[in-house]
Amino acid sequence: DVVMTQTPLSSSVTVGQPASISCRSSQSLVHSNGDTYLSWLQQRPGQPPRVLIHKISHRFPGVPDRFSGSGAGTDFTLRISRVEAEDVGIYYCMQATEFPRTFGQGTRVEIK
Amino acid sequence: EVQLLESGGGLEQPGGSLRLSCAATGFTFSDYGMSWVRQAPGKGLEWVSSINNAGVNKHYEDSLKGRFTISRDNSNNMLYLEMSSLRVEDTAVYYCAMQLWDSDHWGQGTLVTVSS
């Protein structure tokens, strides 16, 4: 199984400051079709997960452009350029390149 | 507008069975693979099972094989998860999700509690 490892597990950020979450996979997430199926999800308190980004860097409609994804192969990053109060929650990376699909442990983002 | 509405959760005793349903609207259901993902209280996300658009190819988390069965009814735009021999550790919110690799559509979840 592909193990997804996120760092840090917790981050306290001042509003308006940037935040960054790293996700490393135990093997390459490049699919045989050439795509890399790495997604980032946000889960606000008491809410279901919301998928922010897929295929490393493609934001879904409605996702603020302060969220960006980057990376390749086994190393990926989610960046929030200027954290807002509504960004509080837990962020997960997920790989959908192979079965079983696997998630990172989650990174809790709070406001300082 | 895409909507996924789960139902069928509730309180069940260890060893019992439940069938979860997910009603899909707002898209051509038969064109998309579907998945179930669960989240135990206070824990992270765990993939449970996926099924392709035609209902032919099915995948399961290894520890759930033999106890959980995913299926779909493309005529009625429904996704199902049959759960048997339930264990306390199956207690979780179960989400249905559309095509995990390139979709942002998830349901609100249904809570399954396994307890005596």
User: Which tens digits make up the pLDDT trace of A69-109?
Assistant: 999 999 999 999 999 999 999 999 999 999 999 999 999 99
- Residue B75: predicted pLDDT: 98
Non-local CB neighbours of B47 within 8 Å, separated by 6+ positions: A100, A101, A102, A103, B35, B36, B37, B61, B100
Nearest to A100 among B45, B47, B103 (CB): B47
User: Tens digit of pLDDT for each residue in A18-30?
Assistant: 999 999 999 999 9
pLDDT band at B101 (very low <50, low <70, confident <90, very high): confident
Please name the residue of chain A whose CA is at the shortest distance from the CA of residue B63: A100
Q: Which of B62, B101, B108 sits opposite A37 (nearest CB)?
A: B101
Distances (CA, A) of B80 to A74, B11, B12, B17, B92: 33, 18, 17, 13, 16
Kindly identify which residue of chain B lies nearest to residue A53, measuring between CA atoms.
B104
Nearest-5° angle of CA B48, CA A86, CA B43? Answer: 30
Residues from chain B that touch A92, judged by Cβ atoms under 8 A, are: 44-45
For chain B, the straight-line distance linking the first and the last C-alpha, in angstroms and rounded, comes to: 40
Q: Are residues B47 and A92, on separate chains, in Cβ contact within 8 Å?
A: no
Q: B104 and A51: CB-CB below 8 Å?
A: yes
Q: Does the pLDDT value for residue B15 go beyond 90?
A: yes
Cβ of residue A105 closer than 8 Å to a chain B Cβ: yes
Give me the torsion for CA of A96, B104, A55, A47, rounded to 10°: -80
